[in-house]
């Protein structure tokens, strides 16, 4: 009898745990009633945060140091910036012939008591073979990937630069990326894939913008654990057109796992891609930002289109998402 009761309790606990961790559903939102924000993602080439913080590379350094957002200076010229870099005229050593310079993105956002809902729409682009990728496609399993980053206000430069604070000169395929033979010396990050992923500067004991060799200067695990607990990270979710919804964060490295508190869905509709998302406001996962009505958050978006991978994506400047609060993107309550 006692064994039977114990089995029942264990089974009930497992079912409850499963219910708690189930991904939110993308419910029927009246998207026609939700205001749209139009922005332009652009090809960023090899412009790292160290590049931004170097006056000879970036003419806007003085304004950035004074506190200006990248959005305030560049929101109207992203297409032109992308055109310079995609052609190889600026900050790009390996241009892809025919790759589009920019991607117009329409964003809508809504929320209820439990979840944030978002809708993304962008045009399908023509295919351009990548000369240095087998079969001309870097990620043949995924025609597109769409990622969203959220800052909780604890990463120093994120509110001004968006995702750039996690993009470094020593990341994969960037100018000072370490040789594969040097990766074994790193502690605190996983380099088995053969490269260094994104990270936030706060995770390093050194942040040198001249030598740009900060990748292996990782803080002790106890300090990283404390930062993860107090919100010094970038919340990250991603949709892959092969069907995966991923969830994680950027701190000492990029961490992505199958989504537990986020669900994406995407498909082609005529000449465009439409991707929708449902994300728990109060996620139970490590590295998730808790979202509240009446508050605004810095967000950034990236689209890997045309089977792209790594840094060969299109990105937004920093944007503000407000849940019935100020922001370029206004989430309305449903």
Helix or strand holding residue 208 (H, E) = none
Quickly count: other Cβ atoms within 10 Å of residue 276's Cβ.
20
In this prediction, residue 15 carries a pLDDT of: 36
In this prediction, residue 26 carries a pLDDT of: 81
Summarised one tens digit per residue, pLDDT across range 209-229 is 999 999 999 999 999 999 999
In this prediction, residue 329 carries a pLDDT of: 98
In this prediction, residue 261 carries a pLDDT of: 97
What residues contact residue 245 under an 8 Å CB cut-off, 6+ apart? 23, 237, 238, 239, 258, 259, 262, 263, 264
- How many whole angstroms separate alpha carbon 151 and alpha carbon 149? 7
The beta strand positions in the chain, using DSSP E, are 37-42, 102-111, 115-123, 145-151, 234-240, 245-250, 254-258, 262-269, 272-280, 296-304, 314-315, 319-323, 329-333
- Of 323, 325, 267, 326, which Cα lies nearest the Cα of 109? 323
Distances (CA, A) of 75 to 19, 54, 62: 42, 20, 18
What residues contact residue 93 under an 8 Å CB cut-off, 6+ apart? 46, 175
Summarised one tens digit per residue, pLDDT across range 192-201 is 999 999 999 9
Widest CA span of the chain, in angstroms?
A: 77
- Which pTM value belongs to this model? 0.92
Residue 296 has pLDDT above 90, yes or no: yes
More confident residue, 3 or 61: 61
Residue 160 has pLDDT above 90, yes or no: yes
In this prediction, residue 23 carries a pLDDT of: 80
Averaged pLDDT of the chain: 93
In this prediction, residue 9 carries a pLDDT of: 35
- How many whole angstroms separate alpha carbon 169 and alpha carbon 227? 23
The pLDDT > 90 percentage for the chain reads 90
Backbone angles phi, psi at 100, to 5 degrees: -70, 150
Q: Which domains does the chain have, with CATH numbers?
A: 33-333 (2.60.40.1190)
Backbone angles phi, psi at 322, to 5 degrees: -115, 125
In this prediction, residue 25 carries a pLDDT of: 85
More confident residue, 26 or 275: 275
Residue 182 has pLDDT above 90, yes or no: yes
In this prediction, residue 19 carries a pLDDT of: 37
Q: Read off the pLDDT of each residue in 46-58 and give the average, rounded to a whole number.
A: 98
Summarised one tens digit per residue, pLDDT across range 90-142 is 999 999 999 999 999 999 999 999 999 999 999 999 999 999 999 999 999 99
Q: Read off the pLDDT of each residue in 31-40 and give the average, rounded to a whole number.
A: 97
pLDDT-derived band at 3 (thresholds 50, 70, 90) equals: very low
pLDDT-derived band at 186 (thresholds 50, 70, 90) equals: confident
**3 state DSSP class of 280:** strand
pLDDT-derived band at 185 (thresholds 50, 70, 90) equals: confident
Provide the b/e sequence for 96-120 (b: ≥16 CB within 10 Å).
beebbbbbebebbbbbeeebbbbbb
């Amino acid at each position: 009898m006692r064994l039977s009761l114990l089995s029942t309790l264990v089974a009930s606990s497992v079912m409850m745990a499963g219910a708690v961790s189930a991904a939110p559903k993308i419910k029927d939102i009246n998207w026609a009633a939700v205001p749209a924000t139009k922005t332009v993602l652009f090809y960023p080439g090899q412009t790292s945060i160290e590049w931004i913080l170097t006056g000879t590379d970036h003419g806007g350094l003085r304004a950035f140091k004074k506190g200006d957002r990248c959005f305030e200076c560049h929101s109207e010229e992203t297409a032109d910036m992308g055109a310079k870099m995609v052609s190889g005229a600026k900050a790009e050593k390996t241009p892809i012939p025919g790759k589009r310079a920019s991607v117009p993105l329409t964003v809508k956002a809504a929320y209820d008591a439990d979840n944030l809902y978002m809708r993304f729409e962008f045009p399908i682009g023509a295919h351009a073979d990548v000369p240095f990728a087998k079969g001309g496609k870097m990620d043949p399993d995924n025609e597109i990937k769409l990622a969203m980053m959220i800052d909780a206000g604890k990463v120093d430069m994120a509110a001004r630069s968006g995702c750039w604070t996690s993009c470094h000169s020593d990341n994969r395929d960037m100018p000072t990326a370490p040789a594969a033979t040097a990766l074994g010396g790193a502690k605190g990050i996983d380099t088995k894939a053969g490269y260094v992923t994104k990270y936030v500067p706060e995770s390093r004991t050194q942040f040198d913008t001249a030598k740009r060799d900060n990748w292996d200067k990782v803080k002790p695990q106890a300090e990283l654990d404390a930062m993860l607990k107090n919100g010094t990270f970038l919340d990250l979710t991603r949709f892959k057109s092969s069907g995966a919804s991923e969830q994680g964060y950027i701190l000492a490295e990029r961490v992505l796992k199958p989504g537990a508190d986020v669900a994406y869905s995407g498909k082609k509709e005529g000449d465009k891609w439409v991707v929708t998302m449902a994300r728990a406001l109060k996620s139970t996962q490590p590295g998730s930002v808790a979202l509240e009505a009446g508050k605004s958050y810095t967000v950034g978006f990236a689209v890997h289109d045309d089977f792209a991978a790594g840094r060969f994506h299109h990105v937004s400047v920093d944007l503000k998402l407000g849940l019935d609060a100020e922001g370029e993107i206004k989430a309305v309550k449903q």
